[in-house]
């Protein structure tokens, strides 16, 4: 038993140790002043991003550098900086839509101040099969955390980074809980890793128990 456990621990170490070497340089959307459009690049190709969303506004403050443990990880090497964050107030059933001019692979979403210490709020995604919580921690307004439940990312003053697994041309989500504002922006790994790298990252995620549970949200009846 001890020998088997030792082998398992050694295997886990072998998987996890290289993860830091593969931290992605993420290209975050550079949003325009209204939050309706922006762009980023993946694999050397510039990709247009369009947002059809009910927003309070766009904030270009760097909320990330002061909290590196919240936004940086073995998977992500840089935060959004001053590229802009979309501000949502929520409180309705409106469906927000972010579209890409061409398909993107495994997009990241940086989240700021989701919910309050006494009241949780959420981003509820539609038809997203697997959401991984990459990092979470304190932010400018408190020390809450994020958690993933199926297609929802829930926070009580939560900040951090999630990754949506798959290939996407569109993202649909709702923000059902009202708050003064909570923020998010989208990014992609600037260079798409080789398949073997994704396999190693997936294996590491399995060891850490970070695989999201699959849940489809059919309540909104959106076209696919």
**Alpha-carbon span 79 to 26, nearest angstrom:** 8
Residues above pLDDT 70, as percent of the chain? 76
Sheet holding 95-105, edge to edge: 30-31, 37-42, 45-52, 95-105, 167-174, 121-125, 152-155, 146-149
pTM: 0.79
How many domains would you assign to the chain?
A: 1
pLDDT in tens, 40-60: 999 999 999 999 999 999 999
Instruction: Say yes or no to pLDDT of 2 above 50.
Output: no
Residues above pLDDT 90, as percent of the chain? 73
Section 151-169 average pLDDT: 98
Contact 161, 3 (CB under 8 A): no
Does residue 171 belong to any structural domain of this protein? Answer: yes
Does residue 2 belong to any structural domain of this protein? Answer: no
Q: How confident is the model at residue 31 (pLDDT cuts 50, 70, 90)?
A: very high
Longest dimension (CA), the chain: 60
Does residue 209 belong to any structural domain of this protein? Answer: no
**Alpha-carbon span 61 to 181, nearest angstrom:** 14
Q: For residue 162, give the H/E element and its range.
A: strand 158-164
Instruction: Say yes or no to pLDDT of 213 above 50.
Output: no
Name the DSSP letter for residue 191: S
Distances (CA, A) of 212 to 110, 128, 147, 208: 17, 10, 10, 12
Does residue 224 belong to any structural domain of this protein? Answer: no
- Could you tell me the residue range of the domain that residue 79 belongs to? 24-194
Does residue 14 belong to any structural domain of this protein? Answer: no
**Alpha-carbon span 71 to 150, nearest angstrom:** 22
Distances (CA, A) of 196 to 25, 29, 43: 18, 27, 16
**Alpha-carbon span 109 to 111, nearest angstrom:** 6
Does residue 53 belong to any structural domain of this protein? Answer: yes
Does residue 34 belong to any structural domain of this protein? Answer: yes
Does residue 221 belong to any structural domain of this protein? Answer: no
């Amino acid at each position: 038993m001890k020998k088997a456990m030792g082998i398992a621990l050694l295997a886990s170490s072998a998987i996890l140790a290289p993860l830091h070497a593969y931290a992605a340089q993420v290209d975050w959307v550079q949003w325009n002043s209204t939050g309706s459009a922006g762009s980023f690049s993946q694999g050397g190709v510039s990709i247009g991003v369009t947002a059809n969303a009910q927003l309070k506004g766009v904030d270009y403050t760097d909320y990330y550098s002061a909290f590196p443990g919240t936004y940086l990880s073995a998977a992500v090497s840089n935060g959004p900086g001053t590229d802009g964050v979309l501000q949502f107030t929520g409180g309705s059933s409106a469906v927000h839509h972010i579209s890409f001019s061409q398909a993107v692979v495994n997009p990241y979403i940086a989240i700021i101040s989701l919910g309050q210490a006494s009241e949780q709020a959420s981003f509820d995604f539609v038809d997203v099969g697997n959401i991984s919580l990459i990092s979470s921690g304190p932010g400018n307004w408190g020390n809450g955390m994020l958690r993933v439940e199926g297609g929802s990312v829930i926070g009580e003053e939560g900040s951090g980074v999630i990754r949506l697994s798959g290939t996407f041309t569109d993202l649909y989500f709702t923000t059902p809980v009202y708050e003064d504002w909570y923020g998010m922006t989208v990014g992609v790994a600037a260079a798409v890793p080789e398949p073997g790298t994704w396999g190693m990252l997936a294996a590491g995620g399995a060891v850490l128990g970070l695989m999201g549970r699959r849940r489809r949200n059919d309540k909104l009846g959106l076209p696919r």
